Amino acid sequence: MADYEAFHAILSCPEVTRFSNWADAPKRGEVERPLKWMCEAFDKRKGCAWMIEDTVTGALLDAIRFNCLDAPNRRAEIGYELHPTAWGKGYMDEALAAVVACGFGPFGLDRLEAWTLPGNPASDRVLEKAGFQYEGTLRQRAWFKGAFHDFRMFSRLAGD
């Protein structure tokens, strides 16, 4: 929870929440609740979250996590954000590679999933560089921000 202010600042950037199900200009509770979940998810075996800091400045750059950990089916869904000042510098590539290694290594998972919204080719490229394959689009998969949204689904298998 010590990262609340910095995480709230990241989620307050319209460029960050534009292609996500995070609220635009989130209120305190809209950040506090998910951050609390991130702090407790691993102990409850519901997920796992990592906060990524710049090694030079110590500034919080992003969060990456297993949003949903389905242990019986050895599957997890990955979600992430990245502060715009860190875009294009390889931070998310590095973080995603570490999370993939953790998922297929110590967590013993077989399938990792992630979704992007149409119009977000930068996130598509991050996933593809990490070995994820586009599986198709789930039309009107979720309702948030006052509309239904299509999800572009990606996956990577342990055997890929």
3-state SS, one letter per residue, for 6-54: HHHHHHCCHHHHCCCCCCCCCCHHHHHHHHHHHHHCCCCCCCEEEEEEC
Tell me the two tokens of residue 25: 């200009």
Contacts of 105 (CB under 8 A, 6+ apart): none
List pLDDT tens digits, range 50-94. 999 988 998 999 899 999 999 999 999 999 999 999 999 999 999
The percentage of the chain sitting over the pLDDT mark of 90, rounded to a whole number, equals 69
- 80, containing H or E segment: strand 75-82
Q: What's the pLDDT score for residue 55?
A: 87
Which backbone phi and psi does 26 adopt, to 5 degrees?
A: -65, 145
Which residue ranges form the domains of the chain, and what is each CATH number? 4-157 (3.40.630.30)
Which pLDDT does position 118 carry in this prediction?
97
Q: How many CB atoms lie within 10 A of CB 16?
A: 19
